[in-house]
Structure formats: C-alpha cells, structure tokens
C-alpha cells in the first residue's frame, strides 16, 4: 500500500469489495472441490503417502510466480495503485522457524490451515467454529506476547 | 451431467486456480493473498486492547480480506455441500492404509465423520486436538506472519526467502506431528 494511490470513490470501493467477495467464493469452491480442505488429503501429504497436495502447490506457484514478476514490473491495480509487494524482512529468521513450527503442529492436528477452516465452516463442519475461536485466541495471545518473543 | 459437477477437480485445475486467485487480488487492488491476517483483523475489531499489534485501522487494512474470507465460507458451502463429492476421497492406497492404522476407515466427505464431532471435541484428547491445534494455528501464523497461503503461495511465488524458511518449518513440523502426535490423540474416536 503506497501513499501515491489514486483517489478511489466510495462507490468504486464498494464494487471492489464485491470483486473480493467473488474471488473468495471462487477460492472456497477450489478449496473444497480441489480437496485442499480435505483432512484426508492433508494427512496424505504430511505422511508422504501421495503427491496430490504438492502438485497443487507447485502448479499454483508455477502460474502465480511469472504473473507476479510481470505485474510488479509494469502494472497498476484497478485502483490505480502501482502493484508492489513489500519484501519480508528475514532478520534472524527466528519468527519464521518458531512460528512455522507452531503452525505446522496445529495444521497436522486439525488437518486444516486457515483457509480450509473457513471453507469447512461453510461446508457445515460445526466443530470448526471451536477451532476458529481457538485460533483467534492464539493470535490474540501472540499479540500480547509479541514484545517478548524473538523475531 | 450432475455426476460431472460433483466429481472432485484434479490438481492441474485446482492448483492453477489458486495461483489465479492470488494474481487476481493483486490486479484488483494490489492486495496480497493471505488468510491468516484475518485472525488479526478480527482480534483488532473485537478486542482493541492494549497490545500495539492490534492497534491499527483494521477496516482500511483488512476489510477487503474479511469480505474475501466471507466469500470463502460461501464457496465452502457451494463446493462442500451443494456440489459435495458423494464418493470416497481418492487418496492413495498407501495413505488409506496409513490412516486405517489410526482407526480411520471412512473416507467420504472432507473430514472423517467420526472424528469431527462434538462428542469427540468434549473428550480430553479431542480438546487437545481441536482447541490445542486451533490455538497453535492462530499463534503460529501470527508469529510467522503468514500461513500456507501467505507464505506457501504468495511468498514463494514472489521468491521471498523468509517464506521459504516458514514453509520448510511448517511442513517439517506438520509431518512430525501427523506421524507422532496425531496417533496419540485420534484413538479417542473409537
């Protein structure tokens, strides 16, 4: 998000929210029909008993990487904003290792990462509402402990 | 025709579509594909407490993402209920055997029907699995600054070294937890 963003009218902005919603619906359908929200598929991948999930990740990146590289060089978003992605600061790497390990443990235990948690809620898996509340509590506790954690 | 709609999509359809969603968000409004940021936005909206981490304009930074995630819930209903696959998931025979050893013998739906129940949730093991797992997902993604989408797709596609560190860490921890931790918690089903 840069300060040079072109002014966006309120109505324009509302229409954009509709576009985000539509992309969300598409992503939710892909998560369920593509079985990325499948507990079975997640465990299959984490137990290295099949390559399905890795094929999905690889093909997603193969499609997105060249498109993102091109967009960053010569495009503006529909809002008029230049397309820019802030580089993530590596630093000591501690937050990526420690945070990644914690997330990975939880990911395997519930067999779902954040996207699938929401998609499974929509698919009627009621227990996921408790998982979601627990995840919110986890993020909230992180917010409190953040000043004391290595990053 | 109906059976064609209910059939699961192959990886070469699902994967590129995920990539296109990430690209689409950039094209529309220079937004970065990532789901876990929504947990922070909800905390900032509901509990604008003292930590500086939650003191920001969540509408400005995250309204688009909360709308996106509402769409994901709707898409989950369409893909999981309206177009839900009635047949068992086509995981490999090796995966089936591996899960059968855990006591999972039902492979229909998106989650094991006998595991994702309120009854299991209210056991000690079930609580550890669902509440403990959910807590770790929320804490870990906030700490790492992203999840399978933010680091695994957007970050890797943008060739960010930080994301590679995160992805290797969560896949390694996930593999270990699925192999050694899950078997301690799942037998609660039986």
User: pLDDT (tens digit, 9 = 90+) per residue, B4-35?
Assistant: 889 999 999 999 999 999 999 999 999 999 99
Say if residue B134's pLDDT is above 80.
Answer: yes
Q: What is the DSSP string of chain A?
A: --TTPPP--HHHHHHHHHHHHHHHHHHHHHHHHTTTT-HHHHHHHHTTS--HHHHHHHHHHHHHHHHHHHHHHH-B-TTSPBP--PPPP-TTSHHHHHHHHHHHHHHHHHT--HHHHHHHHHTT-TTHHHHHHHHHHHHHHHHHHGGGS--
| Segment B174-187 mean pLDDT | 93
Contact B71 A1 (CB under 8 A): no
Query: Which of the two residues, A101 and A2, has the higher pLDDT score?
Result: A101
Alpha-carbon separation of residue B11 from A56, A89, A136 (angstroms): 5, 32, 30
Q: Would the pLDDT of A6 be above 60?
A: no
Residue A33 has pLDDT above 70, yes or no: yes
Question: Percent of chain A scored above 70 by pLDDT?
Answer: 91
A101 inside 8 A of chain B by CB:
yes
Using a CB-CB cut-off of 8 Å, the residues of chain A touching B107 are 40
pLDDT of residue A75: 79
- A94 in B contact zone (CB under 8 Å): no
Q: Quote the pLDDT of residue A2.
A: 43
Percent of chain A topping pLDDT 90? 80
pLDDT, one tens digit per residue, over A7-24 is: 455 556 667 999 999 999
Q: Is residue A58 very low, low, confident or very high in pLDDT (cuts 50, 70, 90)? A: very high
Q: How far apart, in whole angstroms, are the C-alpha atoms of residue B50 and residue B8?
A: 46
Nearest to A19 among B28, B121, B157 (CB): B28
* Residue contacts between A and B (CB atoms, under 8 Å): 508
Over residues B38-56, the mean pLDDT reads: 90
pLDDT at A3 over 60: no
Residues of chain A with C-beta less than 8 angstroms from the C-beta of B165: 90, 93, 96-97, 100
Burial tier of B154 (Cβ tally within 10 Å: 0-12, 13-18, 19+): buried
Please give the average per-residue pLDDT across B41-51, as a whole number: 87
CB-based contact B25 A23, cutoff 8 Å:
yes
Say what the pLDDT of residue A12 is.
60
CB within 8 Å: A31 and B75: yes
Say if A80 is an interface residue toward chain B (CB within 8 Å). no
pTM equals 0.94
pLDDT over threshold 70, residue A122: yes
């Amino acid at each position: 998000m840069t300060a040079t963003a072109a002014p966006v009218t309120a109505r324009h902005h509302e229409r954009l929210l509709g576009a985000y919603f539509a992309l969300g619906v598409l992503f939710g359908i892909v998560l369920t029909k593509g079985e990325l929200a499948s507990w079975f598929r997640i465990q299959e991948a984490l137990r290295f008993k099949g390559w399905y999930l890795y094929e999905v990740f690889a093909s997603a990146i193969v499609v997105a990487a060249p498109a993102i590289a091109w967009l960053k060089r010569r495009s503006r978003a529909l809002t008029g904003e230049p397309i820019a992605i802030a580089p993530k600061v590596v630093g000591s790497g501690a937050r990526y290792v420690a945070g990644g390990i914690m997330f990975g443990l939880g990911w395997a235990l519930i067999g779902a990462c954040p996207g699938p948690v929401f998609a499974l809620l929509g698919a009627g898996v009621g227990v996921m509402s408790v998982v979601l509340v627990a995840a919110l509590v986890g993020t909230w506790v992180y917010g409190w402990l953040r000043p004391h954690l290595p990053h | 025709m109906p059976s064609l709609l209910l059939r699961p999509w192959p990886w070469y359809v699902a994967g590129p579509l995920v990539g296109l969603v990430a690209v689409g968000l950039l094209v529309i409004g220079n937004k970065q594909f990532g789901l876990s940021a929504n947990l922070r936005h909800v905390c900032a909206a509901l509990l604008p407490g003292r930590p500086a981490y939650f003191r920001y304009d969540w509408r400005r930074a995250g309204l688009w993402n909360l709308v996106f995630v509402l769409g994901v819930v709707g898409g989950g209903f369409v893909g999981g209920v309206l177009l839900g696959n009635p047949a068992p998931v086509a995981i490999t025979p090796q995966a089936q055997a591996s899960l059968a050893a855990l006591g999972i013998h039902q492979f229909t739906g998106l989650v094991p029907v006998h595991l994702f129940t309120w009854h299991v949730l209210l056991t000690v093991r079930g609580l550890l699995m669902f509440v403990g797992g959910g807590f770790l997902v929320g804490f870990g993604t906030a700490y790492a600054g992203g999840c399978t989408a933010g680091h695994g797709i957007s970050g890797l596609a943008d060739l960010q070294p930080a994301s590679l560190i995160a992805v290797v860490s969560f896949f390694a921890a996930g593999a270990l937890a699925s192999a050694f931790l899950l078997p301690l918690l799942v037998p609660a089903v039986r």
